[in-house]
Amino acid sequence: MSHRSTRRDLLKGTGAALGTAGLGSLAGCSSLVSGGGGGSGSVTVGSKKFPEQQILGYLAYEALTENTELNIQDEVSLGGSNTNFNALQSGDINMYWEYTGTAWLTLPPSHSEVITDPAEIYSKAKSDLEEEHDLTFLERAPFNNTYVLLANPDWQSETGISTLSGLAEYVNGGNTDLTMVMGPEFQERSDGWPGLTKAYGFESAAKDLNVKNVKANLTYQVLGQGEADIGVGFNTNPKILKFDLKGLEDDQGFFPVYNPAPLVDMETLESNEAMRAPLNSISAALTTDKIRELNRRVSIDGESAQQVASDFLSNENII
C-alpha cells in the first residue's frame, strides 16, 4: 500500500547529520527512534479473524513497515487464539495482539483465578509467557474489551444510574420492574450474571427482574430501540456508539481485564529491537473511544481494516 513521506524517511535522511541529540529534538519523532538492531530482519504479523483483531494486526503491520527497515509479512486474519499462539511458538508468525485476560485464563499454563487489576494481570501473564514459552508482551493498550452492562440512554437519563453499585442499590430498593437482556451463557457462568449479582450484593432481588435471552449481536439493537433497559455487551463493540448506549461502570472491579498487547517471540524482538518503539506507540494511543470508532468503520461502515489502521496511525503521528 502506498504512503506519503514517513518518519522512517525523515530519520534516514537526517540521522547522520543530527546525531543522537538531534534525533531526540525532532518534534513528535523521538518516541520512534529505535534502540538499535532489527535493520534487515523479517517479521510476520498475525491476528485473529474478527474486525478488532484485523485492525490491531494492520496497525502493527503498517507501523512496522513505515518506521523500520524490517521486511514485514502479512498473516492478518490467521485464525483464533490457539492458531495464532501455536503459529507464534512454531515461528510461522513472529507477533500478534493478544488480550491479557485471554493469556492469563486460556493460554498455557491457564489459570482459574480472575484478576481485575490491569497492571497485575498484565505482569503475571507476561511473566508466564516469558518463563514458559520465550514469548513476551510489549506495552498494553488502555482499552479493555471485557463484558460491560449497558443501559438504554432514556432509562439511564431517567434513573441517573452510572455504576453497577448504583444499579445494585436501585434493584435492592425494590425497583425490579426493569427488563434485562443477555445471552444464555452469561446468565449461567460464574464470572457472568450469578457472580456479578453476588459480588454487588443484589443476588436475591435480581431474581425478580425480567431477564430475557437474546443473541449477543442483538443486545445492542434491543437496548437501543427501548425493548429492554439493561443488557450485557462487550466494551469495544461499535454498536454501543451506534445506539448511544450507556456503559455502567464496574466500580468494584468484578469483570476480568482484557487489555490487548503485542505478543512477540523474544528471539525475534532481541534481533529486531526496532520493533519495540512503533508497537508501544500504538498501544499508548488506543483508548476505548478510539477503538470503538475504528471498529465502527470496519464492522458497520464496511471500510478496509488496513485503510482504517493506516488512517489512525497517520492521525496519531505514528506514521
Average pLDDT per consecutive 10 residues, the chain (319 residues; last block may be shorter): 40 36 34 38 95 97 97 97 96 98 93 91 98 98 96 97 98 96 85 92 96 90 96 94 94 93 97 97 96 95 98 97
Query: Does one domain contain both 43 and 140?
Result: yes
Query: Does one domain contain both 124 and 154?
Result: no
Q: Which residues have C-beta within 8 Å of that of residue 150, sequence separation ≥ 6?
A: 219, 220, 223, 230, 231, 232, 233, 240, 245, 246, 247, 248
Is-contact 81 283, C-beta < 8 A?
no
Distance, CA of 262 to CA of 282 (rounded, Å): 10
- Where residue 95 sits, what CATH number does that domain have? 3.40.190.10
Q: Is residue 173 part of a domain?
A: yes
Query: Does one domain contain both 207 and 286?
Result: no
Q: Is residue 31 part of a domain?
A: no
Q: How many domains does the chain have?
A: 2
Q: Given strand 147-151, what is the order of strands in its sheet?
A: 210-213, 179-182, 230-234, 147-151, 246-248
pLDDT of amino acid 189: 76
User: Which cell numbers in the block locate residue 176?
Assistant: 425490579
Domain range spanning residue 160?
A: 147-248
User: Which cell numbers in the block locate residue 86?
Assistant: 501455536
pLDDT of amino acid 13: 38
Distances (CA, A) of 248 to 169, 290, 296: 13, 19, 21
End position of a domain, from candidates 248, 278, 296? 248
Of 245, 226, 165, residue with least CA distance to 234: 245
Q: Is residue 30 part of a domain?
A: no
Query: Does one domain contain both 202 and 266?
Result: no
pTM score of the predicted model: 0.78
Query: Does one domain contain both 49 and 135?
Result: yes
Only one residue has cell 498475525, namely 46
Query: Does one domain contain both 140 and 280?
Result: yes
Q: Is residue 206 part of a domain?
A: yes
Query: Does one domain contain both 190 and 128?
Result: no
pLDDT of amino acid 103: 96
Amino acid of residue 39: G
Q: Is residue 11 part of a domain?
A: no
Query: Does one domain contain both 239 and 263?
Result: no
End position of a domain, from candidates 248, 271, 288? 248
Q: What is the secondary structure of 208-271 as a DSSP string?
A: TSEEEE--GGGHHHHHHTTS-SEEEEETT-THHHHTT-EEEB-TT--SPP--EEEEEEHHHHHH
pLDDT of amino acid 37: 38
Query: Does one domain contain both 72 and 127?
Result: yes
pLDDT of amino acid 191: 77
